[in-house]
């Protein structure tokens, strides 16, 4: 039996604004095993992206626990949190926004390596290897985010996420800003990386067809709660809840 890599236990996130409050994530629990890909689907506002930000500690949970390889990371900060980011990385929806527009892609991809004390020469070599691994040529290290296409920029963002050799990639709508052909290419790249690097994924997506092709299990989110969970084929072919049926009918 493979080891449990990530656990979320009764996660809750309430956003407060003046006297009003919004419960974005409400009592969500799940686990992810090593080498597994968990899809999280649901309509806009269902809590999918909030879960991604809770898992990566970009947001503080109101309640609940997050464990990575059995270690409680729920309230980690500083040096301890940096060690977490060597195991877990996030790939965002808008890759150009996650790069500094004034710096080259190579500079952005190599940043975490330089922060680890790796020499400039070794960093440059590793950046080129990462670009090639993600389907780009070494020349892309000298280009700027605005000089390349959205698909190329997402490949560079994936290369940057891989720089620290993480165990887990959290992809928050990583394909949704791309056209259908490029989506397919990025999904093929992620599938290849999953095999080569033995990576695990939390794959947040509103496209059930992509989730069916890539994920081992699926969580269906609705109004901050887990509506149902199962394999992609179980969810798509034999949905148990009315909301899931409506969601499938709206996209397939």
DSSP calls for 103-136: S-HHHHHHHHHHHTT--HHHHHHHHHHHHHHTT-
Reduced to 3 states (helix: H, G, I; strand: E, B; else coil), residue 246 is: helix
CA atoms within 13 A on the CB side of 43: 11
Residue 50 Ramachandran class (φ > 0 left, ψ -120 to 50 alpha, else beta): alpha
CATH code 3.40.50.300 region(s) in the chain: 4-87+166-251
**DSSP state for residue 177 in the 8-state scheme:** T
Given this model, what pLDDT does residue 78 score?
86
Reduced to 3 states (helix: H, G, I; strand: E, B; else coil), residue 76 is: coil
Given this model, what pLDDT does residue 248 score?
85
Angstrom distance (rounded) from CA 216 to CA 233: 9
Beta bridge partners of 8: 30, 66
Please give the C-alpha separations between residue 30 and each of 10, 12, 51, 91, 217, in angstroms, as whole numbers.
9, 13, 11, 20, 11
Given this model, what pLDDT does residue 180 score?
87
Whose CA is closest to 163, among 57, 73, 87, 61?
A: 87
Report the CATH architecture of 4-87+166-251: 3-Layer(aba) Sandwich (3.40)
Given this model, what pLDDT does residue 175 score?
85
Residue 213 Ramachandran class (φ > 0 left, ψ -120 to 50 alpha, else beta): alpha
The rounded Cα 126 to chain-centroid distance in angstroms is 22
Whose CA is closest to 165, among 70, 94, 78, 85?
A: 85
* Maximum C-alpha span of the chain: 57
Angstrom distance (rounded) from CA 144 to CA 140: 8
What are the 10-residue block averages of pLDDT along the chain, 252 residues in total?
A: 89 92 96 96 92 94 96 90 92 86 94 89 95 96 94 94 95 86 91 92 89 93 95 92 87 64
Whose CA is closest to 10, among 201, 172, 171, 225?
A: 225
């Amino acid at each position: 039996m493979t080891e449990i890599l990530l656990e979320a236990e009764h996660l809750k996130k309430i956003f407060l604004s003046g006297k009003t409050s919004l419960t974005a994530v409400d009592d969500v629990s799940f686990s992810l095993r090593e080498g597994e890909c968990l899809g999280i689907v649901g309509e806009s506002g269902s809590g999918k992206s909030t879960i991604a930000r809770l898992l990566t500690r970009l947001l503080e949970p109101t309640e609940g626990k997050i464990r990575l390889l059995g270690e409680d990371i729920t309230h980690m900060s500083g040096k301890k949190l940096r060690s977490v980011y060597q195991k877990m990385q996030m790939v965002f929806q808008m890759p150009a926004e996650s790069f500094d527009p004034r710096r080259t892609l190579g500079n952005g991809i190599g940043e975490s390596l330089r922060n680890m004390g790796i020499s400039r020469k070794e960093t440059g070599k590793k950046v080129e290897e990462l670009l090639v691994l993600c389907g780009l040529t070494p020349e892309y290290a000298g280009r700027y985010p605005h000089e390349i296409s959205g698909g190329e920029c997402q490949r560079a963002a994936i290369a940057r996420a891989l720089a620290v050799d993480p165990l887990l990639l959290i992809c928050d709508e990583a394909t949704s800003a791309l056209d259908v052909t490029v989506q397919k290419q990025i999904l093929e790249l992620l599938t290849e990386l999953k095999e080569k690097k033995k990576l695990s994924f939390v794959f947040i997506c509103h496209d059930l067809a992509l989730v069916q092709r890539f994920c081992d299990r699926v969580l269906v989110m609705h109004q901050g709660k887990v509506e149902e969970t199962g394999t992609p084929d179980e969810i798509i072919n034999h949905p148990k809840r009315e909301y899931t049926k409506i969601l499938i009918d709206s996209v397939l």
